[in-house]
Every structure is written in structure tokens, then in C-alpha cells.
Amino acid sequence: MELKDLQITDDLWDFIKENVPNYHEREEVLRQAQLQLFIDGHESPVAGITREEAILLRDNILHGLFAEAIVAFTHRTPEQKALEAKLDTIYGSEELRERFAEILLNEAMTDTESYHKVARSIIDAYMERDCDALLTSICGWSISSLAEKVLNNQ
């Protein structure tokens, strides 16, 4: 039986990227890349299996990632979806991006929190991979609040 080679498009990777946090740091993604090199006939650390076995292993990894991305996508809250729509609007406009940066920097410059507290909060937020906490540490506002300020001050 000959296996059909799964066509992996940029759109599929974009979907995974948007819905599976830090996917590129995961061991199975590294393994998938190694298997893909082997399947394509390039130098790879994969050894001791056939090309067909490599395709099955690679496809199993990709199907798991796709399923995880679909679950994450379908479980987003209405609030998350609304925020993403606002951020898309800001992202699509040079004027709104400039306004976003202006508000962010202005709020950061006028914050009265002591520097050592700001630094501790920034480090904690980074370690927790919490974008809202990071922004709140820097300027006192969450991403949602910043987006609202930008869109309400047009």
C-alpha cells in the first residue's frame, strides 16, 4: 500500500501557530521536522525506519497538533474573539498602530510605580508567559484596555 503524502500548507502552520502556544518549542514538532527531512530525502537524524513508517509517524504528530489547535480555537470565549477582532482592526491600520504605541508609551512614562516593583512584575509576567501581566507591569493597562483606549480615541 502506498501512502499519500500529506500536503502541509502555510495556512495549516499558521493555524497551529495561532492556537498552540509555543508549538515550536515542543519535542514532537522537532521530531516532525526531522521526519519531514527524512521523508524528503535530506540529511536527518532519523534512522532505522522506512519512508512509509516516517510518513505515518509524521502524520500522527501533525494530526495531534491539528486536533489541539482545533480544540483551542473552538474553546475561545466570546470575549477573546471580540478582543482579537479589535486587535485585528488595530493591526490593519498604521494610524491605529501608532496610536496604540503612543498610548502604551505615554502610560508607561507617567506610571508612578517604583522601578524595582516594575522590574519584578515584568520578570514575573515573562516567567508566567502572561502578556496582560507584562503590559500591566509596564504601563498599568491590559491588552484589552489598551485596545479599547485606541479604538475609543479615534
Dist CA 85 CA 40 (whole Å) = 39
For residues 34 and 66, membership in a common domain is answered with: yes
CB-based contacts of 43: which residues, under 8 Å, 6+ apart? 37
Record the pTM.
Answer: 0.55
**Are 5 and 35 contacting, i.e. CB atoms less than 8 angstroms apart?**
no
Is the pLDDT assigned to residue 26 strictly greater than 60?
Answer: yes
Q: Cβ distance 72 to 19 under 8 Å?
A: yes
Q: Is the model's pLDDT at 1 over the cut of 70?
A: no
Domain carrying residue 123: 78-152
Instruction: Write down how long the chain is.
Output: 154
Residues 65 and 25 in one domain: yes
Note whether 104 and 138 are within 8 A (CB).
yes
Q: Is the pLDDT of residue 3 over 60?
A: no
The pLDDT tens digits for 76-104 are 888 888 998 999 999 999 999 999 999 99
Q: What percent of the chain has pLDDT over 70?
A: 95
Q: Are residues 53 and 85 in the same domain?
A: no
Distance CA 60, CA 32 (A): 9
Percent with pLDDT over 90 in the chain: 57
